[in-house]
Structure 1
Amino acid sequence: MNNPDAAVSPAGVEIIEGAPVALGGPRGLEVTRTLPSKHRRMVGAWCFLDAYGPHRLDGSPGMRVGPHPHIGLQTVSWLVAGEILHRDSLGSLQEIRPGQLNLMTAGAGISHSEETPATHSDVLQGIQLWVALPDADRNVPPSFTQHARLPVVTEGGLTATILMGELAGALSPARCHTPLLGAEVTLAAGSRAALPLRPDFEYAVLVIDGAATVADIPVQPGPLLYLGEGRSELRLEAGPDTRLMLLGGEPFAEQIVMWWNFVGRDHDEIAAARQAWENRAGGGPFGTVLGYDGPDIPAPPMPITRLVARGRTR
């Protein structure tokens, strides 16, 4: 099958090019989206990956994403530079800074907003990820947690901060609902290192800054390097100083429907969630986000054909 957004190397890995997306609407902050892609929808339970910046905020409002709903997933917010103010329908009001993890579990339903605070740095850069919840946990009560301190692994010129899951014996305090790994890895210029991997996981790497050789494949910022399963070690070599995100997880066996901000299991569930958001003035599962100075984001129209649950590849 011809796959226009992924190049397959002789080693069997895929290089998935990102697509530009305006976050929060046509005039929103531009991000690069590599998951889901046309043919690969997930890496483990990771089902969504946006990278943004570095954006200079001189004369710009920065990030302005009005209140919007989620079901069936966790959002993982990670900054490299700048600040984001999170509000949600649970009453949470939390500013996130680089090195801190904001983890929001939507479960049965939550709404939230994200914005650059009034007092902020000149540059904004980060990534936004979603984790699909397994069927057994997808209707859990919503929750929000910030983890200001996360475990760190160092080896020579390598430093790895573990956002989710476990790496090299270091375990994140963030709650995972499936076997998962998310880690930010920095490499000093010219350094070489190797990280232990789980052969039963599939993995992918996104270079955020710099340039590196990952498993003998040169990678620069932009595309997502999908590495597949069966690896017990990952060799890394930096050119300049480099920052990358390592994602992994047990391949997600369930079929899901991803549409707009929802992860469900069939068309009717998604349609019901959309209707609940459109009728939120009368109550419902998504609550109200207080304090955001702007409108809620309306749901787009449902497609004219029924949504179909699919696996991690298309």
Structure 2
Amino acid sequence: MTINSSNPPDSGLIRRITEHTRGTSGHGPITRLMSPSDLGQMLKPFVFLDIFDASGDAIHAMNNMPLHPHSGIATVTVFTQGRVRYNDPDNGQGTFGYGGVEWMRAGGGIWHGKELNAEPVPRIQGFQLWIALPDDLENGEPESRYIESVGDNEGQPFHVILGNYQGVQSPVPSPEGVNYLLVTLKPGQRWTYQPPAGHTVGWLALARGALNIGGLIQAGEMVSFDSSEAPVTLQASSHEDAVFVLGSAVPHPHRLHLGYYSVHTSAQALERGERRIAELGRKLKEAGDRRTESGTVPVFR
């Protein structure tokens, strides 16, 4: 695949890439691009990123993911292809397609993993991101939101999943100082992202196509940028759409304290979160079969 080199991005506007990864293989169709113990240490509050890309029997494997707990974080699941059902008595039911978002703020503790179920489509693709919560939210009340579309920006290639960009406010109630965008560039299209003031953390991950960012980025890859407020200028391949997510943020000021499924700002907050997770786990067993008619299992808070 080639980039249209006759009109490359202006070298004066290229943000320096510091890390470039294809991640590590995970569970079947899921690839781990970032974990709290590696890139997450440098890109916090962004601490974890999976890309999932499933077709055929692999879609059924994703539907069979086990229930598991979280605390101290919010998870953001964004779909770039396919259709997925959600069913949660506290938050309604419906379907996600391109740009659909599940926002799940774990706070003091939740169990989840089966609240989404793929519809009969040939391919499901998207990203799951974890954000380390600030200390005033990390042990707070959990919250779930299912947003079938974050809205269209007429004439613009981006959708604001979290935060605010160019006057477009996401409907997701995320902490301040975090932007997360879903972007689709047409073949050969050029676009520049100007981070808000203070957003010195920056990265992107590509689902489909190819991008020139002063170097070639292929589908399935993630890059992080140097610590600055400089803009990021990108150009899509001349052959196909480039579909990617991009994050920028004010740096998370705390050292990360890690559990197996949890990220907190202190050992004390982690201990509270893990104690709550264990308590919820006991209650979850007592609750028995919670599966809905559509095959989902609602988040247990």
Give the TM-score normalised by the residue count of structure 2. 0.79
Measured after TM superposition, the shift of residue 60 of structure 1 is 5.5
For 1:191-270, what aligned pairs fall within 5 Å after superposition? 191-201=189-199, 202-214=201-213, 216-239=214-237, 240-267=240-267, 270=270
Q: How does 1:281-292 map to 2 (within 5 A)?
A: 282-283=282-283, 290-291=290-291
The unaligned stretches of length 5 or more in structure 2 are 1-14
- State the percentage of identical aligned residues: 20
Helix, strand or coil at the partner of 1:176: coil
How has the CA–CA distance of structure 1 residues 222 and 116 changed in structure 2, closer, same or farther, with 3 Å as cutoff? same
Q: Is the 8 A contact 2:108 2:141 kept in 1?
A: yes
Matched residue SS, 1:41: helix
Pair 287,179 (structure 1): closer, same or farther in 2 beyond 3 Å: farther
Any conservation in 2 of the 1:57–1:124 contact (CA below 8 Å)? no
Q: How do 1:170-185 and structure 2 match up within 5 A?
A: 170-185=168-183
The answer as to 2:192 corresponding to 1:188 is: no
Go from structure 1 to structure 2 and tell me whether the alpha carbon gap of 1:68 and 1:287 turns closer, same or farther (over 3 Å shift): farther
Answer yes or no: is the 8 Å Cα contact 2:101–2:147 preserved in 1.
yes
Letter in 2 for 1:21: G
The code of the aligned residue for 1:177 comes to P
Contact 1:179 1:249 survives alignment (8 Å): yes
Q: Which secondary structure does the structure 2 equivalent of 1:174 belong to?
A: coil
Alpha-carbon distance in structure 2 between the residues aligned to 1:181 and 1:121: 30
Instruction: List aligned pairs for 1:76-155, cutoff 5 A.
Output: 76-86=76-86, 95-114=95-114, 117=117, 119-153=119-153
Go from structure 1 to structure 2 and tell me whether the alpha carbon gap of 1:170 and 1:268 turns closer, same or farther (over 3 Å shift): closer
Describe the shift of the 1:37–1:252 C-alpha distance in structure 2 as closer, same or farther (beyond 3 A). closer
Separation (CA, whole Å) in 1 of partners of 2:158 and 2:115: 27
State the partner residue of 2:55.
56
Structure with more of its chain in helix, by fraction? 2
Instruction: Show the counterpart of 1:163.
Output: 161
Aligned length: 276
1:249 alignment partner AA? A
Q: Write the distance in 2 (CA, Å) between the matches of 1:189 and 1:178.
A: 33
CA distance, structure 1, for counterparts of residue 204 and residue 126 of structure 2: 15
1:233 Cα deviation from its structure 2 partner: 2.1
User: Which residue is equivalent to 1:13?
Assistant: 18
Q: Distance in 2 between matches of 1:101 and 1:60?
A: 18
**Partner amino acid, structure 2, of 1:78:** V
Contact 2:102-2:147 within 8 A present in 1 as well: yes
Instruction: Establish whether residue 75 from structure 1 lines up as the match of residue 80 from structure 2.
Output: no
Higher relative contact order (CA 8 A, sep 6+): 2
Shift of 1:62: 3.7
2-structure distance, mates of 1:138, 1:116: 24
Cα shift readout 1:129-151 (whole Å, capped 9, x = no counterpart) = 11111111112211111122324
From the superposition, tell whether residues 210 and 265 of structure 1 become closer, same or farther in structure 2 (CA, over 3 Å). Answer: same
Q: Does the aligned pair in 1 maintain the 2:80–2:243 contact within 8 Å?
A: no
User: Where in structure 1 are there 5+ consecutive unaligned residues?
Assistant: 1-9, 23-28, 296-314
Letter in 2 for 1:36: S
Bigger strand fraction: 1
Cα drift, residue 127 of structure 1: 0.7
Shift in alpha-carbon separation, 1:277–1:94, aligned structure 2, 3 A:
farther
- Gap change, CA 1:184 and 1:119, over 3 Å in 2: closer
TM-score by length of 1: 0.76
SS at match of 2:120: coil
Closer, same or farther: CA 263–255 of 1 in aligned 2, 3 Å: same
Please tell me whether the aligned partners of residues 199 and 229 of structure 1 are also in contact (alpha carbons under 8 angstroms): no
Give the Cα separation in 1 of the matches to 2:118 and 2:174: 33
Give the superposition deviation at 1:265.
3.8
**Which digits, 9 at most, give the CA deviation of each residue in 1:181-219, with x for residues without a partner?**
1101111101112222235211101111000112x2221
For residues 59 and 67 of structure 1, the distance between their equivalents in structure 2, rounded to whole angstroms, comes to: 18
CA–CA separation in structure 2 for the residues paired with 1:135 and 1:289: 34
Q: CA RMSD in A?
A: 3.2
The residue type paired with residue 184 of structure 2 is T
Q: Residues 57-95 of structure 1, C-alpha deviation per residue, up to 9 Å, x if partnerless?
A: 258624122221111111111111223445679686664
1:247-280 Cα distance to aligned partner (Å, 9 max, x none): 1111111112223211224556546655654565
Q: Are the structure 2 counterparts of residues 139 and 78 from structure 1 closer, same or farther at C-alpha, using a change threshold of 3 Å?
A: same
